[in-house]
Structure 1
Amino acid sequence: MEWPSQSPGLNLIEQLWEELEKCVFGIRARNADQKCSQLQTAWAQIPQSLLTNLIQSMPRRCQAVIDS
């Protein structure tokens, strides 16, 4: 069986990490606990609509990979 190629377009966590990076960009943390707290706060502030849009886009993303 062939190993399937990597499909970054199907990895939603990458887009969520990008959103988190935008939220905490430029905010300094003194230690790992403070950075973790900043990330948790940013995670809680991600709009539900963004999560919904990412989930709802999966059929289109899957089809685009199949078409490619």
Structure 2
Amino acid sequence: MGWPATSSDLNPIQNLWDYIDKKLTHHRPSTAHEHETIIKNFWSEIKPETCNRLAESMPRRLQSCIRVKGGTAAKY
């Protein structure tokens, strides 16, 4: 199945990166190593249940994308 790489509707990992990005707004790492460490720490805080919910949301995401004929879907 092909879709644009920028399709956040069909890319659940994007939700995890958004979570990390929001948490990063409260931190100001001064080095690349510190930035990497902070990201790894945030990543380790993500619960398996969160990943499961994102995976389970794929049928709804696909149906929503089909419903809007490939346009940007609303909330799932």
Shorter-chain TM-score range? 0.7 to 0.9
For structure 2, the residue ranges without an aligned partner over 5 or more in a row are: 69-76
Residue identity over aligned pairs, in percent, reads: 29
Per-residue deviation at 1:11? 1.4
Give, in whole Å, the separation in 2 of the partners of 1:42 and 1:13.
Answer: 14
Name the CA shift for 1:32/1:55 in 2 (closer, same or farther; >3 Å): same
Name the CA shift for 1:27/1:7 in 2 (closer, same or farther; >3 Å): closer
1:29 alignment partner, SS class:
coil
Q: TM-score, structure 2 length as denominator? A: 0.73
Give, in whole Å, the separation in 1 of the partners of 2:30 and 2:3.
Answer: 42
Q: TM-score, structure 1 length as denominator? A: 0.81
| Larger helix share, 1 or 2 | 1
Residue-by-residue CA offset, 1:20-64 (whole Å, 9 max, x unaligned): 112222211110010000000000001222111100000111111
Correspondence 1:21-60 to 2 at 5 A? 21-60=21-60
Aligned residues: 66
For structure 1, the residue ranges without an aligned partner over 5 or more in a row are: none
Larger Rg: 1
1:7–1:65 CA contact under 8 A, matched in 2: no
